[in-house]
Structure 1
Amino acid sequence: MTFQQHSTVLAGDAPGQSTTLYWYTAGPEDAPTKVYLQAALHADEQPGTMALHHLLPMLRDADAARTLKARFTIFPSVNPLGLATRVLRRHIGRYDLETGVNFNRRWPDLYPQIAQAIAGKLVDDPQANLATIRKAVGVWLDQQQPATAAQRLRLLILKAAHDADIVLDLHCDDESLKHIFTSPDLMPGLQDLADRMQVAATLTAEDSGGGSFDEVLPGLYRKAQQANPGFPIPMGAETATLEYRGQADTHDAMGREDAQGLHDFFAGRGLIAAPPPVATPAPGPTSLEATEMLRADRAGLLAYRVNLGDQVKKGDVIADIIAMDGPEAFIGRTPLRAGTDGLILSRVTAKYVVAGASVAKIVGCDILPARAGGYLLED
């Protein structure tokens, strides 16, 4: 059996401080395909951890039966630093409290770091070029000298994921239907994942503006292709952020269902030797630039007029904002209207909002001029 638990002690930022990160591997070490899974990079988002809790025994049993055909690396709760950031009985697992940086933002742009290292080494063999790029990234990562606990954690994650063929980052929204974020280059290739998850939407962007983890490897290979047009360079990693509903949806039965969807996706790819059931087709991809991040234009109390999954038209009232000051305080209501036709994908659970707060995602079909080429995340 190759199923194994590992632990890594990460030095903290204060003398005598450290934290332990637990992770697993399974499957043949020499398997031709490497799969990397992580959950709770935003440490206050637990549905993905619940899903991996149920997936791990499936992988353990498949490993014992020798039916794993890929090498799996699994971090069920990848951010112990974020797990520890509780303030006044609230879990603040989305941001590094030292810097204020979102744990899923500002991941490195790898291609400029390795461009010189691969110069003159590319050939006519796409697999050889892929190996050259991965080796260069590995060398660069080995040269890094992180100074903080957060930097040490990021480096550990990148070392574990940089040479994987499939990289899945499990998250959740606030209150939401299941959806995926991925790169347009990887669709329709990842439609089988969308089908197995039964997502309501797959949202695509080459660069959402925030340096998200799932964009690191596609960005690397895309820029390598653009900079070296005379050489065949494959898109060497299928990566995606999987949004498993909302934060409150950390339920045993849902986790079991989500784990089964992942298992069936791997089985459908031949990475687990098991016959998967027939998948029900999910909606195809749409550009993230066609998704409206509807924001409040004033402070107040939200009163929604729509539910998750509703189809709306441009101009429809999505919610009223109840005034909490001024002459109409606690009486007046101002409608907040949709700026596009589309599907209500998410809402917020905290109903007191301030001006500029995101209150809903509306997945449309048409690129929104205000979104084209801009920062695409909530944040």
Structure 2
Amino acid sequence: MRERCFSFPGRGPGTRHQVLTLSFGDPDARPHVHVQGGLHADEGPGMMVARLLADLLAQAEAAGRLRGHVTVVPFANPLGLGQVLHGDHSGRFDLYDGRNFNRDYPDLSDDAAAGLEGRLTGDPQRNVALVRAALRAALQERQPVGPAEALRHHLMGLALDADVVLDLHCDGEAEMHLYTQPAAWDRLAPLATLTACRAVLLAEVSGGHPFDEALSGPWTAIAARFPDHPVPLGCASTTVELRGRSDVCRTQGLRDAGAIRDYLVHLGVLSGSVDLPPAACSPTPLAGSEALTAPAAGLLSYAVPLGSLVQAGQTVAEITDLETGAMIPVRASTTGVFYARPATRIAEAGKRLGKIAGDRPFRDGPLLSP
């Protein structure tokens, strides 16, 4: 295991932050898998799993099992880790400007494509190397200003060369689920199976330029730009949602880290063999995921547990009006798995109350929550 720290200035004079990266195996070996936790710094499960995965990888490396290369960032957002307001940790949004730490990553597609004009070949693997070099050059041309942009730039640089990227997150309360692009699904399906995902949400573009799409998106865009040249998907990236914020537990974390280790075996990063269990779900379009919203303010309770298959028209949540005592039902308009909900139980009008993974697309525009 090799440790590397990236140090960058904070916003105030005399302040600095640092990001730790742990590297396993030969840096030039393939496949290369990049794993990070805590980009939303108030989401502990991903940081726990990334840290425990590093311990498992250190053991595997000592046993001579590393065939590929793995980079692990246990805590990807030191800026957000330091944002504690009146005793509450706030790590999803930058308190300086309100921007989501997992949005606004650069789209390198156009700049990389410009650098590839007249250079692509008939050899798919040669083209993968050329695209990776063009993406690196496009990123290096950008000069980040301020700590949040310096962090985005650094994290992109760490992951840009990887064959597979796992960005570990969680929801308020949730079943295990993941988001990815359709082109990446075949490569990531074994991960969804090993982690027992109850929902898999696919979208070509989900909106907001999140970290995972900034890495896989350019590959599909460049392949479409140069249809006469074979350009395989050089990076399959995903946002993995490790249940809810309170699910920070070493026992559960070890199970999840073990599932990711088994996925690395499946990819050939680690020696050994692994049997894939039956899938717990089939992928559905992110455009078919219903976001339930509160029609009124009040106390929130749920009529069905997480993981339930709900039917269109079924009551999923109930809001109790504190002035009148009336109960206002919140019903599903689609059929699917009820896979996520907020951790709070006081609702304001318009609050998102839960997510249902339906198989019928009905939304467009930005598909992710802010």
TM-score calculated relative to the size of structure 1: 0.95
1:116 CA drift (Å): 1.5
1:363 aligns with 2:361: no
| 217 and 278 in structure 1: CA distance in 2 versus 1, 3 angstrom threshold | closer
1:313 CA drift (Å): 1.1
1:139 aligns with 2:137: yes
Partner-residue secondary structure (3-state), 2:318: strand
1:277 CA drift (Å): 4.3
Question: What CA distance in whole angstroms lies between the structure 1 residues aligned with 2:82 and 2:153?
Answer: 19
Give runs of aligned pairs for residues 344-359 of structure 1, distance below 5 A: 344-359=338-353
The one-letter amino acid of 2:125's match is Q
In the alignment, which residue of structure 2 is the partner of 1:207? 205
Question: What CA distance in whole angstroms lies between the structure 1 residues aligned with 2:55 and 2:343?
Answer: 33
Give runs of aligned pairs for residues 77-88 of structure 1, distance below 5 A: 77-88=75-86
Contact 1:168–1:240 (8 Å) recurs in 2: yes
Contact 2:108–2:139 (8 Å) recurs in 1: no
Question: What CA distance in whole angstroms lies between the structure 2 residues aligned with 1:29 and 1:53?
Answer: 20
> Identity, % of aligned pairs?
37
Question: What CA distance in whole angstroms lies between the structure 1 residues aligned with 2:211 and 2:335?
Answer: 30
Question: What CA distance in whole angstroms lies between the structure 2 residues aligned with 1:105 and 1:66?
Answer: 38
Contact 1:201–1:285 (8 Å) recurs in 2: yes
1:192 CA drift (Å): 0.6
Question: What CA distance in whole angstroms lies between the structure 2 residues aligned with 1:189 and 1:265?
Answer: 10
1:115 CA drift (Å): 2.1
Question: What CA distance in whole angstroms lies between the structure 1 residues aligned with 2:254 and 2:369?
Answer: 29
1:278 CA drift (Å): 4.3
Q: Once superposed, which parts of structure 1, at least 4 consecutive aligned residues long, lie more than 3 Å away?
A: none
The one-letter amino acid of 1:374's match is G
In the alignment, which residue of structure 1 is the partner of 2:58? 60
The one-letter amino acid of 2:369's match is E
Contact 1:188–1:285 (8 Å) recurs in 2: no
Question: What CA distance in whole angstroms lies between the structure 2 residues aligned with 1:354 and 1:375?
Answer: 22
The one-letter amino acid of 1:45's match is E
1:146 CA drift (Å): 1.3
1:343 aligns with 2:337: yes
1:375 aligns with 2:369: no
Partner-residue secondary structure (3-state), 1:190: helix
> Which runs of 5 or more structure 2 residues have no equivalent in the other structure?
none
The one-letter amino acid of 1:115's match is A
Contact 2:46–2:242 (8 Å) recurs in 1: yes
Question: What CA distance in whole angstroms lies between the structure 2 residues aligned with 1:350 and 1:57?
Answer: 33
Question: What CA distance in whole angstroms lies between the structure 2 residues aligned with 1:128 and 1:270?
Answer: 21
In the alignment, which residue of structure 1 is the partner of 2:68? 70
Q: How many residues align?
A: 370
In the alignment, which residue of structure 2 is the partner of 1:188? 186
In the alignment, which residue of structure 2 is the partner of 1:160? 158
RMSD after superposition: 1.2
In the alignment, which residue of structure 2 is the partner of 1:306? 304
Question: What CA distance in whole angstroms lies between the structure 2 residues aligned with 1:252 and 1:361?
Answer: 27
Further displaced range: 117-126 or 149-158:
117-126
